Structure 1
Amino acid sequence: MTPEEFRQAGYAVVDWIADYWATLPQRPVTSQDPPGTVAAELPPRPPTQGEPVEAILTDLGKLVAPRLTHWQHPGFFGYFPANTSGPSVLGDLVSAGLGVQGMLWATGPACTELETVMLDWLAEALDLPARFRSTGRGGGVIQDSASSATLVATLVALHRAAGGRWREVGVDRRYRVYTSTEAHSSVEKAARIAGLGSDGVRLIEVDPTTRAMSPTALRAAIEADQAAGLVPALVVATVGTTSTTAVDPLPQIGPICAGYGVFLHVDAAYAGAAAVCPELRFGHAGLEYADSYCFDPHKWLLTGFDCDAFWVADTGELVEALTVLPEYLRNAATESGAVIDYRDWQVPLGRRFRALKLWFVLRWYGVEGLREHIRRGVALAARFADRVRADDRFELVAPHPYALVCFRLRGPDGPNEELLARVNATGRVFLTHTRVAGRYTLRLAVGSPQTTETHVDEAWALICEAAASATPA
């Protein structure tokens, strides 16, 4: 493909994406086709000769787009949002076009330095503690997801617990990781990958009302493990749990970790984005105790997947835990000690130029534009919660500090399962579920940039209509 051919094909692709976004409200949110439909319509063998981009886009519209779950749809209320935006897509396009491999400063100086500054910009936008800024001992890096950030934090915590010798001595199954029963499954997966196994994770009970980790139970677990000859290495606290967006009490958890010398990682994958709004920073109280922190701009901050922002208070500790330097990567810039090599801040060696999409997003929207987006989502969720609260058939199951509402029909689980199936079958909206205190619970998460009051009200109308059939007589 010549530059001129690319130019013409690029125009066509951008037009296709713009048309896709414009027609999203008219599409069903999810595909109703059975598994195997797309595979059955694809040729059994690759093409012998090349094809024009027009043919590819035709099949994209005919075969692929109708069989998607449309995460950018204004009626998508499932899981957590996975925002993207025009500026983010353009930043990714430039990144793909440049084809930079940013594993070392030497392999892409601007790639590294832009990322460092973008993480400082984000830290300022969220008003993170000064200890996470690159102007001191701390600093930030882009991971692919909060799961990877948790894994890296686990490895650094083990390195610290081993007195700086973890990378030499390897796994010691006496180490223990602590997190709440509401924490993300990535905590257990990180412990498995690190060699601790699932038994290396202590699940701490939560407050039955707030669903947040109990500091009293955490302290008791740490003390019991120490008495048994085990080594407490890491506490993972959550700001905005996956099921209900509960906020673990960092002002109480932080001093416990500090007192016992335990590494504290704070996972704010979803809710961290809300901290661009000063009035929504309550979850960050006590963050000054954290050794590391992460959130996903790719969830609620208009930046396409993958983009997790991960900060540590001591970059030297991180690099010491993860660095491996073969001869073929040695270079003068690295040996000078004056540059950052982000390969030492993550598990993989290679890395894309993901900072570009953050740069595009932050410059296009500005902090005030991002605040407007977050506030709109919170207001829409509050509007929906008001509808639930006013209907005696339903109950709110947990507080809704951000843009997720957890609710259910009063009574047994069966009607709630039926309700969710009926609502999702309409194709107009898509919700997901969880279990809260063992009860089947529906989740409505607002986040799509296209979602308006009309879409939230339509969701409530569909829920009420379905409830009329699902509610026992």
Structure 2
Amino acid sequence: MTPEEFRTYGKQVVDWIADYLESVEQYPVRAPVAPGEVRAALPAHPPERGEPFEAVLADLDRVVLPGITHWQHPSFFAYFPANASGPAVLGDLLSSGLGVQGMLWATSPACTELETVVVDWLAELLGLPERFRTDAHGGGVIQDSASSAAVVAVLAARQRAGEGRHRMYVSSQTHSSLEKAARVTGVGAENVRVVDVDPQTLAMDPEHLDRLIREDRAAGCVPTLVCATIGTTSTTAVDPVRRIGEVCRDHGVWLHVDAAYAGVAAVCPELRWCNDGVAEYADSYVTNPHKWLLTNFDCSVLWLGDRAPMVEALSILPEYLRNAATSSGEVIDYRDWQVPLGRRFRALKLWAVIRWYGAEGLRAHVRRCVELADGFAEMVAGDPRFELDPHHPFGLVCFRPLWPDASAAEADAATMELMERLNDSGELFLSHTKVRGHVVLRLAVGSPATEAKHVEAAWRRIVKEYEAVLANPR
């Protein structure tokens, strides 16, 4: 493809994306296809000769689009948001166009230094401590996901803890990526200890954590890492980071704070309470701009208070990567801050988002989502046929329908039927979880396109389908 051909088709692709974002509301939120349907519509063998790009765009409309679940739809309320904004898409396009391999400072100095500035900017916007800055002993790095960040944090914690039978501590509400990190890093799932949670708030119990660490140390184990969560995946429960941090400091254990979803809420001063204790106690902290901060996937930022254990754990320097800048010790080589060697120029899209929206625009987005979620919670609370989880400080609301005279198993089955009816309608998309012995529904507000009318329409449809299940269960 010549530069001139690229210019022609590139304009068509940008127009296609703009048209899609402008008209996304016309599509059913969840893809209405059966397993194998997309594959069956595609050729079984690759083309022998190249095809015109018009054919690619035609099949994008004919085959791909019908099989897309529309995460940017204003009525997409499932899981957590995965925002894609115009500035982020353009930043990603620039990254693809430059084609940078940013494994070392020497392989593209701007790729590294722009990232150091952008992660420092974000740390400032979130009110994170000075020691997390890249011009201090710690620093930040963009990972592909909080799962990869967890692996890096565990490796760093192991390095600092030394040899022995390592133990990790999570709660029943901690993301599954921490157990996977234990498997990947050799800690082993059998050495992951589950700490009790408060039955009402679902927050980790620091007293039980303290007892488990004492027991393990007495048994000759090496307490290595505790994961505290700010905004758990199921219900956005918030662990008491300060009290957990005090336990970790008493025992010399690494504290990793997983704020993948909710951490970005701290751009708003009134929501910065969620990070209480982070400045004093966190050894590592991760949040995902690709969830709620208008930056398309993948963009997860991991900060460390001291980067030395991480670099010691991950740095391997073969001869073919040696260069004067690395040898000088004056530069950051981000290959030592992640598991893969190669890395994309992800900082461009986060840089574009922060510059386009500014702190003011980012705060407005988060506040609007919280306001819309609060409005939905009020509608649920006002209907005696539904039960609201009262903890909803961010953009997620958990609730469950009440089924008269139903057993627990029958109620859970009816709730799942309700969710499937809702999702089959194409008008909205919800997900579920199970807490305190009940299946509950989750409605997460995060799209920049979502307005009050979409939330109100979702509630009307929920009530309508609830009544239909009551009258005629499948």
- The amino acid across from 2:352 in the alignment is F
Structure-1 separation of matches of 2:247 and 2:178: 19
Q: Which runs of 5+ in 2 are unaligned?
A: 404-410
- The amino acid across from 1:416 in the alignment is T
Structure 1 residue 378 displacement after superposition: 0.4
- Deviations 1:301-360 (Å, cap 9, x if unpaired)? 000100001100111222111101111100000000000000000000000000000111
- Contact 2:32/2:66 (<8 A) preserved: no
Structure-1 separation of matches of 2:253 and 2:383: 46
> Which runs of structure 2 are paired with 1:54-453 in the superposition (5 Å)?
54-162=54-162, 172=164, 174-288=165-279, 289-411=281-403, 412-453=411-452
Select between 292-301 and 311-320 the one with higher mean Cα deviation.
311-320
Structure 1 residue 148 displacement after superposition: 0.5
Q: Secondary structure at the match of 2:141?
A: strand
**CA 1:50–1:371 in structure 2 vs 1: closer, same or farther (change >3 Å)?**
same
Select between 151-160 and 389-398 the one with higher mean Cα deviation.
389-398
After TM superposition, the score normalised by the length of structure 1 is: 0.97
Q: Secondary structure at the match of 2:57?
A: helix
Q: Secondary structure at the match of 2:228?
A: strand
- Deviations 1:40-72 (Å, cap 9, x if unpaired)? 111111112222222211110110011111100
- Contact 2:33/2:66 (<8 A) preserved: no
**CA 1:472–1:154 in structure 2 vs 1: closer, same or farther (change >3 Å)?**
farther
Runs of 4+ in 1 over 4 A off after TM superposition: none
- Contact 1:292/1:311 (<8 A) preserved: yes
Q: Secondary structure at the match of 1:176?
A: strand
Select between 48-57 and 115-124 the one with higher mean Cα deviation.
48-57
- The amino acid across from 2:416 in the alignment is E
Structure-2 separation of matches of 1:472 and 1:127: 51
- Deviations 1:76-96 (Å, cap 9, x if unpaired)? 000000001110010000100
Structure-1 separation of matches of 2:330 and 2:28: 53
- The amino acid across from 1:181 in the alignment is S
Structure-2 separation of matches of 1:361 and 1:119: 13
- Contact 1:210/1:398 (<8 A) preserved: no
Q: Secondary structure at the match of 2:368?
A: helix
Structure 1 residue 196 displacement after superposition: 1.9
- The amino acid across from 2:20 in the alignment is Y
Structure-2 separation of matches of 1:196 and 1:261: 18
- The amino acid across from 2:383 in the alignment is D
- Contact 2:139/2:307 (<8 A) preserved: yes
Q: Which runs of 5+ in 1 are unaligned?
A: 167-171
Structure-2 separation of matches of 1:359 and 1:113: 12
Q: How many residues align?
A: 464
- The amino acid across from 2:203 in the alignment is A
- Contact 2:290/2:296 (<8 A) preserved: yes
After TM superposition, the score normalised by the length of structure 2 is: 0.96
Structure-2 separation of matches of 1:438 and 1:324: 47
Structure-2 separation of matches of 1:63 and 1:472: 38
- Deviations 1:442-465 (Å, cap 9, x if unpaired)? 000001111100100010000000
- Deviations 1:7-32 (Å, cap 9, x if unpaired)? 00100000110111111111100122
Q: Which residue of 2 aligns with 1:169?
A: none
Structure 1 residue 472 displacement after superposition: 7.2
Structure-1 separation of matches of 2:461 and 2:414: 15
Aligned sequence identity (%):
62
Q: Secondary structure at the match of 1:82?
A: coil
